[in-house]
């Protein structure tokens, strides 16, 4: 994306960016121990500052990770919804998140010394889950098609979810805690996790940039998209593979965070329209903003206890999903 195109982004996208900066500053300052805003910069830069460890080693990586995970899930949801032509599609609801979770879990259990393979394993799991969705999507259309797609997602979720439960049951000594993993949490994540998932998350986001015009062709029905020269099947597979990769990288460090990919693209599509040159940057920023705020609330609402961020997001996402379903039914 050239500088001219960045400058041409709508004001709402810039507002999301500004909101993200404010959320990051708020997250740095707020918590069980309050850090005055005036002390943030000295605490970040001065290694001897009394708040340096708290701000730089505990909160900063978590904020970066929340933004990366949220941005990736927001993008992933937008792309999956375009690829399967269904606004109800969400990596979590379709089982892609569970597939990625199983991949990550198997890596954690059987190759814990190769943590940097985590995103790749999670991506493979996500791809395994997305395959039945993809083959079904080309045959599903309309309200009943949307409902059937979600039912396929329920089945995929059930299969991968039970596999996750079995792995955490049999390898409880090596697997992460089942509840925090399946709900999703950023508790105790640091710069190591940023380095594990960050490159894959950034690469996945960058891979979508050149596809934005081609993805617009998928806003048409298959015959019309083919008529304007779009390689419909290849595009759909590529889009889902990138979405699975983004979801996998996010899940490998944050667990099965759900609903971001459903809520963010649907809200932003209403505000900005479905064209990807505007939608994708906004979804990346919107997802980052939503997870950053949710994580800040998760850390501070019941401090010193920490709530799982995934549970808070599900509180927003669940009712929203229900409202989307009811709107389609009526």
Partner 1 sequence: MVISNLDLEVRRGEIVALVGANASGKSTLLAALARSLAPRGGSVRLGGADVYSLGRREHARRVARLPQEPTCAAGLTVESLALLGRHPHGPPLAGPSAADHARAEAALRELRLLELRARPVESLSGGERRRAWLALVLAQDTEVLLLDEPSAGLDLRHRFELLELLRRVNRERGVTIVCALHELDDAARLADRVAVLARGQLIAFGPPRESLTPEVLLAAFGVEAALRWDDDGLSLRVTGAA
Give me the residues that bind partner 1 (CB under 8 A), please. 5, 82, 85, 87, 210-214, 216-217, 219-221, 223-224, 226-231, 269-270, 273-275, 277
Least separation in angstroms between CB 159 and partner 1? 30
> Which single residue is written with the structure tokens 């790749």?
120
Identify which of 237, 291, 296 has the alpha carbon closest to the alpha carbon of residue 263. Answer: 291
Residue closer to partner 1 (CB basis): 11 or 47:
11
Nearer to partner 1, 156 or 282 (CB): 282
Minimum CB–partner distance for residue 146 and partner 1 (Å): 13
Q: How far is the CB of 328 from partner 1 (least distance, A)?
A: 11
Which of 291, 299, 292, 268 lies closest to 281, judged by CA?
268
How far apart (Å, rounded) are the C-alpha atoms in residues 110 and 214? 39
Of 165, 322, 191, which is closest to residue 259 (Cα–Cα)? 322
Neighbours of 276 (CB within 10 A): 23
First-to-last C-alpha distance (Å) of the chain? 40
Rounded distance between C-alpha atoms, residue 199 and residue 195, angstroms: 7
Nearer to partner 1, 155 or 234 (CB): 234
Torsion, Cα of 239, 243, 248, 249 (10° steps):
100
Residue closer to partner 1 by CB (options 69, 83) is 83
Distance from C-alpha of 148 to C-alpha of 146, rounded to nearest angstrom: 5
Residue with Cβ nearer partner 1 (62 or 85): 85
Name the minimum Å distance from CB 255 to partner 1.
Answer: 31
| Closer residue to partner 1 in complex, CB, 35/235 | 235
Shortest distance, position 219 Cβ to partner 1, whole Å: 4
- Nearer to partner 1 by Cβ, of 199 and 227: the residue is 227
Rounded-to-integer distance, Cα 5 and Cα 255, Å? 34
Q: Which is nearer to partner 1, 254 or 262 (CB)?
A: 262
Report the nearest approach of partner 1 to the CB of residue 267 (Å).
Answer: 12
Residue 322 CB-half CA count within 13 A: 5
Q: Least distance from C-beta 247 to partner 1, angstroms?
A: 22
Q: How far apart are CA 30 and CA 86, in angstroms?
A: 38
Instruction: Report the alpha-carbon distance of residue 20 to residue 251 in Å, rounded.
Output: 21
Q: Which of 85, 80, 114, 86 is nearest to 99 (CA)?
A: 80
Least distance in angstroms from the C-beta of 231 to partner 1: 6
Output DSSP code: residue 115.
G
């Amino acid at each position: 994306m050239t500088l001219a195109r960045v400058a041409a982004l709508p004001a709402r996208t810039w507002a999301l960016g500004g909101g993200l900066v404010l959320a990051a500053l708020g997250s740095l300052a707020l918590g069980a121990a309050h850090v005055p805003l005036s002390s943030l910069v000295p605490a970040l830069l001065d290694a001897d500052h009394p708040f340096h460890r708290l701000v730089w080693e505990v909160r900063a990586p978590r904020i970066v990770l929340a933004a990366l995970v949220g941005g990736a899930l927001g993008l992933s949801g937008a792309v999956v919804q375009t690829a399967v032509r269904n606004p109800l599609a969400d990596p979590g609801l379709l089982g892609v998140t569970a597939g990625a979770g199983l991949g990550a879990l198997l890596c954690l259990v059987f190759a814990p010394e190769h943590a940097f393979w985590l995103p790749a394993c999670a991506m493979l799991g996500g791809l395994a889950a997305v395959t039945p969705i993809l083959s079904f999507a080309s045959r599903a259309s309309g309200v009943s098609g949307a409902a059937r797609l979600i039912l396929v997602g329920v089945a995929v979720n059930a299969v991968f979810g039970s596999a996750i439960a079995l792995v955490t049951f049999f390898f409880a000594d090596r697997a992460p805690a089942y509840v925090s993993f399946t709900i999703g949490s950023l508790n105790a994540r640091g710069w190591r996790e940023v380095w594990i998932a960050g490159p894959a998350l950034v690469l996945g986001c960058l891979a979508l940039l050149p596809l934005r015009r081609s993805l617009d062709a998928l806003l048409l029905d298959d015959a019309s998209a083919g008529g304007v020269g779009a390689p419909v099947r290849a595009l759909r597979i590529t889009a889902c593979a990138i979405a699975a990769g983004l979801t996998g990288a996010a899940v490998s460090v944050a667990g099965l965070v759900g609903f971001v990919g459903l809520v963010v693209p649907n809200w932003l599509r209403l505000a900005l329209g479905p064209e990807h040159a505007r939608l994708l940057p906004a979804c990346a920023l919107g997802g980052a903003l939503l997870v950053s705020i949710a994580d800040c609330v998760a850390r501070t609402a019941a401090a010193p206890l920490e709530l799982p961020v995934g549970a808070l997001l599900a509180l927003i996402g669940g009712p929203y999903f229900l409202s989307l379903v009811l709107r389609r039914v009526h």
